[in-house]
Amino acid sequence: MTTEAKPSTRERLLEAAATLTYRDGVGIGVEALCKAAGVSKRSLYQLFESKDELLAASLEERASTFVAGLLPAADDGRSARERILHVFEQVELQAGAPEFRGCRYLAVQIELKDQSHPASRVAHRIKGNLTVFFRSEAEQGGASDPDLLARQLSLVFDGASARAGIQADNLAGLVAPTVAALLDAADMR
């Protein structure tokens, strides 16, 4: 007989923070976080210096899942163009889920506004890594201006995520042609 280990207090707090802040925003209170995690405030503050540190740790914990859900595997044999398009295909797929609220990292940056907030710093770094991926692929694909293309792709990514997240638009048939036009304009192979 196998028994699954019960998630630790830390894991329950990280999960509650991820779930509640994605659904309700970063203004969620400590009471609600503790209630959702089934822990006391004392436990939260024994594990994390502050709610801000909990939010940052929660974002950090989700980063590998975020990246794995978007980026193609390294050296997957596809062209740089196909690898960039893959990211936007993934966004389109994710945006079709009823619980999709957009990019959690973008939402945190918009809500917090304070670039020095621990969660904002994590979100900024994760989003910056996506732009670095776009730039690297743009360079590999021979883009005429890899820096500009990477910034343009990040803009489309954030705009598409935000519009789908607030259910202002359906991304199907919209994002891929937009990205393809940018890639064509940049002479991407």
**What is the predicted pLDDT for the residue at 81?**
96
Query: pLDDT tens, 125-156?
Result: 999 999 999 999 999 999 999 999 999 999 99
Reported confidence tier of residue 89, pLDDT bands at 50, 70, 90: very high
**pTM over 0.85, yes/no:** yes
What is the SS3 assignment for the chain?
A: CCCCCCCCHHHHHHHHHHHHHHHHCCCCCHHHHHHHHCCCHHHHHHHCCCHHHHHHHHHHHHHHHHHHHHCCCCCCCCCHHHHHHHHHHHHHHHHCCCCCCCCHHHHHHHHHCCCCCHHHHHHHHHHHHHHHHHHHHHHHCCCCCHHHHHHHHHHHHHHHHHHHHCCCCCCCCCHHHHHHHHHHHCCCC
**What is the predicted pLDDT for the residue at 3?**
61
